[in-house]
Amino acid sequence: MPEFIIQIDFTDRPGLGYEIFKITENNGIDKIAMEVLPKHGMVIQFQCALDEQVQKLVADLKALNNITAVTFRNQMPYQEKEHELRTILDSVSEGVLAIDKDGKISHINEVACNIFNCLPEEVKGLGVEKVLGENTPVLETLRLGNPCRLKERKIRKDGKTIQFLTSSVPVKNDQGRIIGVVSTIQDFYQVEKVILQADKRRQLITFDDIVHQSRQMTQLITAARTVAKSASTVLLRGESGTGKELFATAIHTNSLRCRNQFIAINCTALTDTLLESELFGYEEGAFTGAAKGGKQGLFEQANGGTLFLDEVGDISPRLQVQLLRVLQEGTIRRVGGSKEIAVDVRIIAATHRNLEEMISSGQFREDLYYRLNVIPLRILPLRERKEDIPLLAQHLIRKICKKLNKPEVYLSKESLELFMVQDWPGNVRQLENTLERLINLTDAAEIQPEHIFAWTDITNVNNSIKTTLGKQQAFQVEIPLEGEWPQLKDIVASVEKEVISQVLKKYPSSRQAGQVLGVSNTTILNKIHAYKI
């Protein structure tokens, strides 16, 4: 039998739910699921053999008082949310696995399935130890609420060893009770592979790839071009996602070392001991599991080239001492070795941390700071160079559409205006992720504010009003200062009426207008009715 989903929008009143329910009963439809949209709507999924019967149901519902719309939908709201969540989880490059309060797997993404060689439907509902092995730290997070970071684990499955790094954070409800855990998983060997493979991809990046329009970025690029030619250590400062790695790569490409390796390593991606053996290498027998013949570290591999140490502010005091030695002496010593090996490596370090404060609180060595801070370059957060947003958005859309193999989409003028008033705490990376999510989840050729409101956290109430009304379009409310004062409620009402009318001109649906003004669409519908807008 054909299935239908209808959404019934209403302004709430006592008894309305019961009347809707009665109408569905009287029309004899076979209900499969119902979902309430608190205070403003209801969605019903049902089966029905006859089209006329469906039409009659819709007509009966529309005839009820306070029903504002009855529309057909393709999916139930929970299915849309599920689809959105699945798309997000599958688009991240790490394995993600979530468990409920009983330790059973509730979500697992594609990457995690690839690491553990399983299918989502096989493992959903199973105890997490069936996938991550007995004594997994994830269960400790569930029990005690302690997050864990990059714990190295090894399990045997189908005669093979799977070695991975796992991190986990507890999920808590409003009362602070633990109701599950989300865990991220990285394949141990992939971590190494990524470090090495990335080199080829990066060598092609130049300063021309840094998209910008702002005066500050132009100045910074000019400075970076100049320092690229020297061999001095560079310290890139800037919030997460501002483009520090992009700058580091362009500096290497523009340097005299460009024919040699550029190797990047994120100092927070590995545990302290792993980072040490990655950077400095190790001798055979240095620790259990050390490869035969030992291993070259990244300093040796980058000899003659550049080593990019991302998040250098996060390295442990022990590694800070070792790094200082390399910078002072130009030599390294492998883990478990006694020989000093000379290396000629240019260091580009980056951090989003306030190193000066870290020095004051004793978390970062002052002598290392001076060795790293030879040429400091500070990349401004995106909110302080908003002129870059239009070009960046256009560039990123092109890049994402190419990656997703989708025809190029456009940002409407209103959407761009909305982007311009955001703060973008995650900077260019957040802009890129937001666009990727929108391009993934909408099929429209032009991205409109309604797509942004539906699929992202962007609402930005106050700023939206600013752009909607603008300076020139500001309206005035006349309040007589002599004679009889109007009632305060009348003043408020006239302001409300004017604001809602203006917003509705730009965002004609009550839902969009509600989102712009930070109220429910029921409130907007009530006001439209009350002020006869």
Ligand X SMILES: Nc1ncnc2c1ncn2[C@@H]1O[C@H](COP(=O)(O)OP(=O)(O)OP(=O)(O)O)[C@@H](O)[C@H]1O
Nearer to ligand X, 252 or 352 (CB): 352
Cα angle 348-351-355, degrees, rounded to a multiple of 5: 110
Establish how many alpha carbons lie within 13 A of residue 351's alpha carbon, considering only the half-sphere containing its beta carbon: 19
Nearer to ligand X, 276 or 432 (CB): 432
Q: How far is the CB of 246 from ligand X (least distance, A)?
A: 4
- What pairs with residue 105 in β-bridges? 99
Torsion of CA 247, 248, 253, 254, to 10 degrees: 70
**Binding mask 195-234 vs ligand X (x if CB under 6 A, - otherwise)?**
---------------xxx----------------------
Q: How far is the CB of 83 from ligand X (least distance, A)?
A: 25
Contacting ligand X within 339-368 (CB under 6 A): 352
Report the DSSP pairing between strands 346-351 and 306-310. Answer: parallel
Q: How far is the CB of 383 from ligand X (least distance, A)?
A: 14
- What pairs with residue 33 in β-bridges? 45
**Binding mask 416-455 vs ligand X (x if CB under 6 A, - otherwise)?**
------------xx--x-----------------------
Nearer to ligand X, 194 or 286 (CB): 194
Q: How far is the CB of 391 from ligand X (least distance, A)?
A: 8
Residue with tokens 């403003």: 40
Report the DSSP pairing between strands 262-266 and 306-310. Answer: parallel
| Cα distance between residue 213 and residue 222, in whole Å | 13
Among 8, 105, 246, 265, binds ligand X (CB under 6 A): 246
Q: How far is the CB of 235 from ligand X (least distance, A)?
A: 13
Nearer to ligand X, 212 or 527 (CB): 212
Q: What is the DSSP string of 335-370?
A: BT----EE---EEEEEESS-HHHHHHTTSS-HHHHH
Among 199, 278, 310, 436, binds ligand X (CB under 6 A): 310
Q: Say whether residue 245 binds ligand X (CB under 6 A).
A: yes
Nearer to ligand X, 48 or 235 (CB): 235
Among 241, 294, 305, 514, binds ligand X (CB under 6 A): 241
Nearer to ligand X, 266 or 515 (CB): 266
Q: Which amino acid is at 439?
A: I
Q: How far is the CB of 85 from ligand X (least distance, A)?
A: 23
Nearer to ligand X, 430 or 463 (CB): 430
Segment 148-157 long-range contacts (CB within 8 Å, at least 24 positions apart)? 149/271, 150/186, 150/269, 150/270, 150/271, 150/274, 152/188, 152/271, 152/274, 157/116, 157/117
Helices (H) and strands (E) in the chain, counts: 23, 20
Residues that bind ligand X (CB under 6 A): 210-212, 238, 240-246, 310, 352, 392, 395, 428-429, 432
